[in-house]
Amino acid sequence: MTDVPAHLHAFDWPDRVVIGTLGRPGARTFYLQVRTGEQIMSIALEKEQSALLAMKVDEVLDQLRAVEGNPYSVPTGTPVELVDNDPLDAVQEQFRAGTIGIGWDPTTAQLIIEAQPLPAEGVEPDEDEAAESEMLRVRIPVGAARAFTQRTREIVDAGRPLCTLCGQPIDPDGHTCIIPEF
């Protein structure tokens, strides 16, 4: 994973880790929200980042599951007791995610997600600025990680339906289909 930044928001055994949205389909903002007790952190993500994060977490879990003897007890599906369909807690955006990394800690059998903010627009980060950066680091047990990916896929898929002719999203107030000519 990365060097420890000056402002590290660490959640080692969080009570909750979810992707959720605010807004209507077509204008949703995606958030990665983590909570331990009264401490809540929400970072904004793009829909594509959310989908890719879920896919990569599942890939890591599937690779771990394939290890002979499955020493980490990685489940194939989501344990029912870990399903979380509740809405997001109150959202106060800490930052918009730029770089997101995934790792594995075999000593605790936890998946690690790290997210750093997008650099300020028009500013090239230098080494000194990188040392002062902010980061969210979340450690998730394997069962909770499966629940995280299931919910994330459901949230991503709950957007606007796609047009069967052109493949573009259909807005609630209508859709003009532009079919490419061959």
pLDDT of the residue at 105: 95
Q: What pLDDT, in 10s, does the model give residues 41-93?
A: 999 999 999 999 999 999 999 999 998 888 888 998 888 999 999 999 999 99
Q: How far is CA 144 from CA 25, 87, 88, 94, in A?
A: 26, 17, 16, 23
User: Which of residues 148 and 170 earns the better pLDDT score?
Assistant: 148
pLDDT of the residue at 4: 62
What lies within 8 Å, CB to CB, of 26 at 6+ separation is: 159, 160, 169, 171, 172
